């Protein structure tokens, strides 16, 4: 398998980079990827790959059906960019002011297009059905994945696969975790008091000290209600209210972020925030509105597919790394809620080039392009192994 996969990937080396360069030069923001969507559709049309019907927005789903029986496998790549002004001096630098592929989604889409081309050129490798899921808007809530699930993309799928490029992780290393990313949410508490003049404070209900009490209490919430073995964070990110020293405001607002590694913990935190906020506010004679936004769920990899991915990566000769747990978010999680899935991270850092250690979402974000070949090898090898061909 190793020799075949490396040969197939090597045949795509030039095309893979050309595609990535075009996408990197022409980034588009979440839910606005009209030209990128058209580009992907045109590439799939050139390959003779039909598109799935009923897909909402700018996402694109191509369908490759083999003549031999096999599973239905969804391979996903996101392709939206970020509102970042690129500072890299590259021949394929973004030509769009204040928009940049600063998270590597261009590498995801380019790799999936080359994966599709390999399968078209080698139909004998296709067992069952491959769904090429080019997903819009991973970077912005509510995200593109949840709509694709509503569109029925995962209904007939047996399992799914995806990868993310990883700046700061050395070339040749592939990260595979049980819980790949966290569930996220935000909250806001708007406190309604009674404003007035500072010289007559007894006739007011000052919402500012109440907000401070609520914020202090919320900082104690995590260790009291969630297992210390569960990664969780609850932040108080802002407190707003009042602008003039001798005027007590009528309202104050505080809010922040929730991140948990176990989906069930998010509801516990949300419930407790509401109870604590209302209890403190009412005790001081004020009222409040408590609002929540539930973001992406935790992305949990399927245990059997983790084993399959590890065998695949190991047989290719790459190092498998179990990364430190992180509380980042990824809407691939919506697919994993529907069907067994695995999501891996392919290292793109070259120790000889410090630029490749720049963090994701930064103006200097850069990857060593040799990671493209490794990512394609992993995707091809995983597919062959998952369909019993290796």
At 277, list the tokens: 């906020």
Query: Does the annotation count 369 as an active-site position?
Result: yes
* Sign of the dihedral defined by the CA atoms of residues 253, 233, 77, 168, in that order: positive
Q: What angle do CA 106, 17, 26 make, to 5 degrees?
A: 40
Residue 65 Cα distances to 57, 257, 290, 308, angstroms: 24, 43, 49, 23
The residues, any chain, with a CB within 8 Å of residue 307's CB and separated by 6 or more, are none
Place of tokens 């505080």: 254
**Among the options 39, 187, 296, 383, which is catalytic?**
296
Coil vs helix vs strand at 222: helix
Question: What are the helix (H) ranges across 28-94?
Answer: 34-46
Strands 247-248 and 173-175 come out as unpaired
Q: Could you give the CA distance from residue 339 to residue 118 in angstroms, rounded to a whole number?
A: 25
DSSP letters, 154-185, are: TTT-SEEEEEEEEEEEETTEEE--SEEE-EEE
Q: Which of 215, 218, 214 is nearest to 233 (CA)?
A: 218
Query: Does the annotation count 264 as an active-site position?
Result: no
At 2, list the tokens: 């190793």
| Most distant CA pair in the chain, distance | 84
Other beta carbons within 10 angstroms of residue 362's beta carbon come to 16
Q: Could you give the CA distance from residue 187 to residue 274 in angstroms, rounded to a whole number?
A: 9
Other beta carbons within 10 angstroms of residue 204's beta carbon come to 17
**Among the options 175, 369, 377, 379, which is catalytic?**
369
Active-site residue set: 296, 369
């Amino acid at each position: 398998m190793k020799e075949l996969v490396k040969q197939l990937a090597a045949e795509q080396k030039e095309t893979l980079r050309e595609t990535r360069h075009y996408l990197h030069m022409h980034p588009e923001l979440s839910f606005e990827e009209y030209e990128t969507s058209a580009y992907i559709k045109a590439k799939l049309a050139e390959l003779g790959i039909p598109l799935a019907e009923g897909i909402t927005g700018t996402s694109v789903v191509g369908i490759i059906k083999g003549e031999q029986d096999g599973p239905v496998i969804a391979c996903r790549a996101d392709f939206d960019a970020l509102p970042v002004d690129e500072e890299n001096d590259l021949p394929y630098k973004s030509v769009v002011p204040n928009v940049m592929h600063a998270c590597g989604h261009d590498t995801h889409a380019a790799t999936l297009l080359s994966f599709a081309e390999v399968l078209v050129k080698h139909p004998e490798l296709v067992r069952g059905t491959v769904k090429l899921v080019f997903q819009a808007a991973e970077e912005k809530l509510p995200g593109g994945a949840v709509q694709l699930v509503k569109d029925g993309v995962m209904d007939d799928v047996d399992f799914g696969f995806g990868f993310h490029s990883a700046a700061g992780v050395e070339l040749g290393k592939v990260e595979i975790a049980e819980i790949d990313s966290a569930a996220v949410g935000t909250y806001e508490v708007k406190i309604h008091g009674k404003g007035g003049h500072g010289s007559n404070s007894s006739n007011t209900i000052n919402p500012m000290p109440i907000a401070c009490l609520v914020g202090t209490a919320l900082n104690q919430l995590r260790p009291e209600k969630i297992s210390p073995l569960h990664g969780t964070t609850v932040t108080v990110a802002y407190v707003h209210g009042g602008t003039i020293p001798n005027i007590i405001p009528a309202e104050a607002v505080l809010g922040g972020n929730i991140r948990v590694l176990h989906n069930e913990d998010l509801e516990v935190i949300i419930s407790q925030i509401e109870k604590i906020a209302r209890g403190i506010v009412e005790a001081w004679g004020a009222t409040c509105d408590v609002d929540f936004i539930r973001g992406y769920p935790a992305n949990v990899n399927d245990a059997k597919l983790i084993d399959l991915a590890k065998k695949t990566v190991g047989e290719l000769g790459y190092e498998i790394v179990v990364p430190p747990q992180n509380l980042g978010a990824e809407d691939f999680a919506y697919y994993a809620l529907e069907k067994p899935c695995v999501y891996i991270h392919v290292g793109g850092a070259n120790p000889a080039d410090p630029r490749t250690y720049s963090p994701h979402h930064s103006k200097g974000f850069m990857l060593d392009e040799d990671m493209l070949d490794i990512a394609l090898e992993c995707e091809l090898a995983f597919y062959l192994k998952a369909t019993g061909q290796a």
